[in-house]
Amino acid sequence: MIRILAVGKLKDARLAELAADFTRRIRPWSDLEIVELKDQGPEREAAAMLARLGPPSGHGLTVALDERGTTTTSHELSALLGAHGSLTFLIGGPDGLGPAARARADRVLSLSPLTFTHETARFLLLEQIYRGLAILRGHPYHRD
């Protein structure tokens, strides 16, 4: 099961369409849940995320997306997807991810040294999840 806790809705219709396309592609290969949380500032957003995560034990791996996180390759993300039965990704809002959410995460990853809007980050994460699952299945979407 892959879960994405993301602040805000995808307001840009073009990004929403791309995200929906990758969501459709992912679902035959993995259960996927996307939870949109209200945009209310990093501290409150982090509290809402923590409430959704529940206690640390038995929650699977929690990965926070943050520009200060470590970068990873598509193959490394694929290995992460293959190694854990349950993953939850945290995406903050326009003001970033609250410190409490980063602290609660098992890993903090950066999609790039560049800064993206939270909407773009969600689309990029979905594309990379699909790419990672394609790598695991030997699907030709990812070419080495």
Give the pLDDT of residue 58.
Answer: 61
Give the pLDDT of residue 57.
Answer: 60
Residues 6+ apart with CB under 8 A from 26: 2, 32, 126, 129, 130, 133
Give the pLDDT of residue 60.
Answer: 85
With CA atoms as reference, report the closest residue to 29 among 107, 140, 139: 139
With CA atoms as reference, report the closest residue to 32 among 44, 23, 22: 23
With CA atoms as reference, report the closest residue to 73 among 110, 123, 36: 110
Give the pLDDT of residue 59.
Answer: 64
Give the pLDDT of residue 85.
Answer: 79
Give average pLDDT by consecutive 10-residue segment, the chain, 144 residues.
94 95 96 95 93 75 93 94 91 92 94 90 96 94 76
With CA atoms as reference, report the closest residue to 14 among 117, 130, 131: 117
Residue 107's H or E segment, with its range, is strand 107-110
Give the pLDDT of residue 30.
Answer: 95
Give the pLDDT of residue 54.
Answer: 75
CA distance 124 to 104: 23
